[in-house]
Amino acid sequence: MCLWSEPSGIRIVPAGTSSSGSHFSATYLNGTAYTEIRRFVVIGEGYGNSICSPIYTYGGQATLKPNLPDVQQHAIIHTSRQPPPEKFSYDDTGTLVKENLEKEPIRVINEQADEEGDLGAFSRINYSKIYTVEHYVRVLNIGKVHPMSMASLEKNSFFNRRANEPPQPPRGNSSKASSKGSKSSSSKRGGSSKSSRKGQETSNG
């Protein structure tokens, strides 16, 4: 877990304001960045950095967040002994909508006794994204992936994404997924970056 900043995209938010736990600030060339507490799972180690997949709650909506792509590249990640139930809601017609996640939940052994170490019911690991966290960044270890979940974490990590799992459009959108670059999806991506720290929360090098 660490303080994380990244560009806010085309979203127009006044600098100096906060929204849903994120703080927005002005950057060079009139850009805007947002900063928030971000949780990660280490899936590999580079030279002086860790390669990670992020954990999101999507504002408590889990993968039912509107227009969320790559839903099936997510999995429940939890610090409870048993995985929490998937989130559900009802659409405008009263139809029940479920997450229906296909990947196995990932259990984390909690190493923090307070709420900072509790992933809650709506945390989801997003295997479709990777971030590089430098080892000089100040972080807080909240736990380690349970040994029984390591096989699933390794199988589903971005490095091992299968060719038959192309990028997915958001729910309700056209099933047309961009094929740009899909030919390279079956190639090995960083397969040599295995590390004994895999499956841990980011920590200072």
For residue 122, the Cα-to-chain-centroid distance in whole angstroms is 12
* Full residue range of the structural domain in which residue 72 is found: 2-159
In a domain, 205, yes or no: no
96-138, pLDDT tens digit by residue? 999 999 999 999 999 998 888 999 999 999 999 999 999 999 9
**Position 187 in a domain:** no
Sign (positive or negative) of CA dihedral 153, 154, 159, 161: negative
pLDDT in tens, 12-45: 555 555 555 667 788 777 788 878 889 999 999 8
- Whether residue 176 lies inside any domain: the answer is no
The number of folded domains in the chain is 1
**HSE, side-chain direction, 13 A CA sphere, residue 9:** 1
Sequence-distant (≥ 6) Cβ neighbours of residue 54 within 8 angstroms:
38, 39, 40, 125, 126, 129, 131
pTM assigned to the model: 0.76
Residue 96: strand, helix, or coil:
strand
Exposed / middle / buried, residue 20 (Cβ in 10 Å: 0-12, 13-18, 19+): exposed
* 178 falls within a domain: no
